[in-house]
Chain A
Amino acid sequence: DVKVTQSSRYLVKRTGEKVFLECVQDMDHENMFWYRQDPGLGLRLIYFSYDVKMKEKGDIPEGYSVSREKKERFSLILESASTNQTSMYLCASSLPPVMNTEAFFGQGTRLTVV
């Protein structure tokens, strides 16, 4: 069974902390994505990566950075957490666009910044 695993289901962090959200996929997918999901706004793309050490900004990259040192792992970093980054974070992976296949999602990490 294909799997995208996010390291934490729930996190509570303080304002100003550096936060790492980890995501691992076991499908050998080239593409990996980080989205945030907020009520009424759907899923908004923060960053995506189409290969190891490659990354592209999504629609809302401000306040975030990412790291892709290995193909199976994609990390989202909040350099200095703020309360407006309280959200549900979803990681996904997929094959390259020429395959036009679905993205597989993890269970999500509910981050609360206090």
Chain B
Amino acid sequence: GESVGLHLPTLSVQEGDNSIINCAYSNSASDYFIWYKQESGKGPQFIIDIRSNMDKRQGQRVTVLLNKTVKHLSLQIAATQPGDSAVYFCAETPGGYNKLIFGAGTRLAVHP
């Protein structure tokens, strides 16, 4: 399969534990944020998004937290499963622009 990040920071967790992946974003004008999951050999897939007027949003087994004061975003995955193993990217949208700016990514490794 494809190797999407040979030198990425890696978070190793046990199956069933909760995972927290962190991201520092760069632009204080960013008003929309997305977490993507990229499995080996595939393009990134949407997980969850959050607007800058919120500080928390929950999905199915995932929660995104936004701290605009310190420009920090986190993704929490509950009861992590082997299928969650992937590289996770946060992305921000500078206000008024079309484009997404991506972070470098974090590899999540789930061990049985």
Contacts and interface: CB of A to CB of B under 8 A. Distances in A.
A91 to B, nearest CB: 8
B82 interface: no
Interface residues of B, number: 31
A76 B48 CA distance: 28
Interface in B74-112: 89, 91, 93, 96-105
Give the bracket for the number of chain A residues in contact with chain B: 20 to 34
Contact of A45 (B46, B89, B101, B105): B101
A105 B8 contact: no
Contacts of A96: 98
Which of A33, A88, A102, A104 is most buried by chain B, counting CB atoms within 10 A of its CB?
A102
Interface of A: 4, 31, 33, 35, 37, 39-45, 48, 50, 56, 58-59, 88, 90, 92, 94, 96-97, 100, 102-108, 110
